[in-house]
Each structure stands twice: as structure tokens, then as C-alpha cells.
Amino acid sequence: MTAVSPRLAARRARRRPSPVEWMRTPLPQTAAFWRVTVLVGALALVGLLMVLSASSVSAIGSSGSAWTVFLKQSIWLLIGAGAFWLGARIDYHRWQSGALPLYLLAVVLCGVVLVPGVGIAVDGARRWIGFGELRMQPSEVAKLALLVVSASVLARRGDALLDPKRVKEWAGPIAAFFAVLAFLVFREPDMDSVVVLALIALTMLVVAGIPMRILSAMVLPVAGIGLVMAAWEPYRRSRMLALLDPAGHEAAAYQTVQSVMAMGRGGVFGVGLGAGRAKWHYLPNAHTDFIFSIIGEELGLVGTLVVLAAFAGLAVIGFSVARSAPDRFGALMAAGVTAWITGQAVINLGAVVGVLPVAGITLPFLSAGGSSLVVTMLAAGILANVARLSPPGASSGGAAPERAAARRRRS
């Protein structure tokens, strides 16, 4: 048997595996990895079933078949499942090296969608690009891009986070990354996605251990500008006023009233799958933004509580993965994905039950929509990857020293 020199052995150990070797490499099966996978899969399958029920009436009116939207969503779900698998297979550290190219791609896409004749306008909003039935929403790519590039900056410049004299080293890039994407998405207009982008950036800063004094100085001006911009447009202002006085703003409150009525009809156990009335042109966007109303009507309080429990479980598991991540970048990625998914769910559910203004934003994994489902599944796959690479039983991971220092700084 021929002996292998130490140098050759080291070179073989350092080389990247071939695609065939990479595909054959088994996944470490941690408990958190399987919990994330099961919850995401369950939500996606429930969403597919409810899309069939909620879209059947409108699909018959537009195409003559009750299965049209369901079949499209099934295809998107298959693509999303592949995206989840890729996200779970690819070492999350690889995202750090591709952070800037991904961000630049998101900026280009968000800029292109604003070009007349290129961006597809629906109901006064220019949010899609593509042709025919093959469309994508660049704001979904923007969420992932902001998450990755922010995590990369904060992970690389961790030594400057607690030094007030070095704030510009990380605050400048984070503010610039957020401002560019927020401006482009706001111009579509898509205020709800801007809120999600702000939530992602805020989560990145909190998890990184930014001192509260610096964090407040950054967040308060952004929140003030956001409130002004939300009240600037008449239709946004009407939605906010309708939340306080539905009777005085019947047109703006119509969807909320119909949504609450549908959920009230469901009672405890629902009227039965497929037997709901709201989807018969009473509730607009029943299979997209307001699919939770159909769940409440047809599956009742029991069905809604199951969905809420799934999102709550995903939040608990996701932040637990962030705490046990092996390094700062993994903690930031896991926390950002978790805040993105659960925060977007809270915004959607708040609008559906009438405690937040009506939001044109999907319920993750459940609402009909191709680009939203695929990108969210990819993000969930990244969370699963962090979970499978985290050491079993770890409680604080590689980011513990920075968090401890941040707590001492705040105190």
C-alpha cells in the first residue's frame, strides 16, 4: 500500500467535496433540526389544503376550474421544498461570503420592478416582475438579502460593537443597507414589507448585543419616519383610522369586518372544510392575505389555535437555535430568520383579527404566493442548517461572550 505524504493528506482534507460526495454526505440529525422541519412541513401542507378551499370559488370564476390556484401552489410548494432542502444542506457559513452579491442582486431586482413596462402593477402596486404566470416579488429577496448582509457585517466587526467610538464601523453599513432596500420597496409601494425589513435589522442589532443607548438613538428616528410615511398616503391613513372607527370608514374597514364575521361563524370546531361562505366573494384576497380567516371559519377555534401553536413553537425553537449556535454569524442568521417569519405572521394575523391595520402581506407557509413561499422555505432551511450544526446540549454557543459583555455594558 502506497504511503500518502502529510502534505497530500492535508490538501485532500482541505479540498471541497465534489457535488456527488456532497449529495451523499448524511445530515446530522439533531432534535432541533427535525422540529424545524416538521413544523415548517406541517404549516406548508395545511396551507396547501386551505388554499384549495379558499381559492376554489374565485378560480372557477376566472379559469373555469376550482383546481387552478391549487395546482400552481402545489408546484411552488415543490420548488419551496427543494429550496428548504438546499438551505438545510448548504453550510450556513457559505452565505457570509455571498452576502454582498446577494444584496446587490436584491437592489437591482427592487429597482427593476419600479421601471414602467417591466414591473407588473396589480391594484395600483408595482411589486412583481416576470411574464405570464411566472412572476416573482423582489421584496421577498430583499428580506433574505438584508438578513444575510447584516449578519455578515455584525459578525465580522464584533469587536467594535461595544465601543461607542467605533459605532460608525458597523452602524453606517447597516443603516445604508436597510435604507436603500426600504426606499425601493416603499416606492412600490409596500409599506408592510418595509416593516418586516426594519424588524429584521432590529433583530440583528439586538442579538449582536448593541448597547441600548445606541440602539435607541438608531431606532427612534426610523420609527418616527415610518409613522409619518404610514399616515402620508390617504389609503394608509384610512386603514389606520378604520382600525379606530370602523363605522366611520366602512370602505377601508370592509375586509376587516368580513374577516371577523367569518371567524365568528366558525365557532369552536368550524363549519367544515370547504363549507365556508366568506370565500364566495364576500372576503377579498381570501386565499392570500386573509387565509387565516378561512381557517377560522372552516376549522374553527381549534384550527386557529393549532396554527398559532405551530408559529409559537417555531419561534421558541428558532430562538433556542440562535442561543446554541456555534458562532456569532449562526446566532444572527437563526434569530433573524425566526424574527422574520414570526414577525410577518404577527403582522398578518393582527390585520386579520382587527387589531392592526389591513396589511397586504402573506401569512408565511400558508398563503398562496410563489416567491413568498419559496424564499421563506429557503430561509427556514437556513435555520434548520444552523440547528443541525449546533452542538447538542449547548445553551449559549459561540456568541455567549459578546452577549455577556453586552449585558455588563447595559448594566
Q: Is residue 363 one of the residues assigned to a domain?
A: yes
Residue 410: how many CB atoms within 10 A of its CB? 12
Q: Would you give the DSSP letter of residue 396?
A: S
- What's the grid cell of residue 218? 438608531
Q: Is residue 304 one of the residues assigned to a domain?
A: yes
- What's the grid cell of residue 154? 455584525
- What's the grid cell of residue 301? 377555534
Q: How confident is the model at residue 393 (pLDDT cuts 50, 70, 90)?
A: low
Is the pLDDT at 60 greater than 60, yes or no?
Answer: yes
Q: Is residue 329 one of the residues assigned to a domain?
A: yes
Which pLDDT score, from 0 to 100, does residue 63 have?
A: 87
* SS3 label, residue 154: helix
Measure the CA–CA gap between 94 and 355, rounded to whole angstroms. 40
Q: Residues of the chain with pLDDT > 70: what percent?
A: 84
If residue 136 lies in a helix (H) or strand (E), which one and from where to where? strand 134-136
Sign of CA dihedral 247, 252, 258, 263: negative
Residue 264: how many CB atoms within 10 A of its CB? 10
> How many domains are there within the chain?
1
Task: Give the ranges where 64-190 is alpha helix by DSSP (H).
Answer: 68-89, 94-97, 99-112, 138-156, 167-186
When the pLDDT of each residue in the chain is averaged and rounded to a whole number, the result is: 85
Amino acid at 261: M
Measure the CA–CA gap between 341 and 196, rounded to whole angstroms. 9
Domain that holds residue 171: 30-410
Measure the CA–CA gap between 315 and 320, rounded to whole angstroms. 8
CA distances from 233 to 185, 239, 327 (A): 15, 10, 43
Please choose, from the candidates 125, 104, 116, the residue with its C-alpha nearest in 3D space to the C-alpha of residue 185.
125
Measure the CA–CA gap between 20 and 23, rounded to whole angstroms. 5
Please choose, from the candidates 275, 194, 274, 203, the residue with its C-alpha nearest in 3D space to the C-alpha of residue 236.
194
Residue 280, classified by CB atoms within 10 Å of its CB into exposed (0-12), middle (13-18) or buried (19+), is exposed
- What's the grid cell of residue 247? 363605522
pTM equals: 0.87
Which pLDDT score, from 0 to 100, does residue 345 have?
A: 96
The predicted model gives 396-409 an average pLDDT of 44
Higher pLDDT, 145 or 27: 145
Amino acid at 101: P
The predicted model gives 79-108 an average pLDDT of 95
Q: Is residue 24 one of the residues assigned to a domain?
A: no
Q: What is the pLDDT of residues 95-132, one digit of tens each?
A: 999 999 999 999 999 999 998 888 888 776 788 888 77
Q: Is residue 212 one of the residues assigned to a domain?
A: yes
- Side-chain-side CA neighbours of 89 within 13 Å: the count stands at 13
Amino acid at 25: T
Q: Are 126 and 357 in contact (CB under 8 A)?
A: no
Which pLDDT score, from 0 to 100, does residue 1 have?
A: 44
CA distances from 39 to 172, 211, 318 (A): 37, 34, 11
Q: Is residue 168 one of the residues assigned to a domain?
A: yes
* SS3 label, residue 364: coil
Q: Are 126 and 176 in contact (CB under 8 A)?
A: no
Q: Is residue 23 one of the residues assigned to a domain?
A: no
Measure the CA–CA gap between 129 and 133, rounded to whole angstroms. 10
Please choose, from the candidates 95, 171, 183, 158, the residue with its C-alpha nearest in 3D space to the C-alpha of residue 378.
95
Is the pLDDT at 15 greater than 60, yes or no?
Answer: no
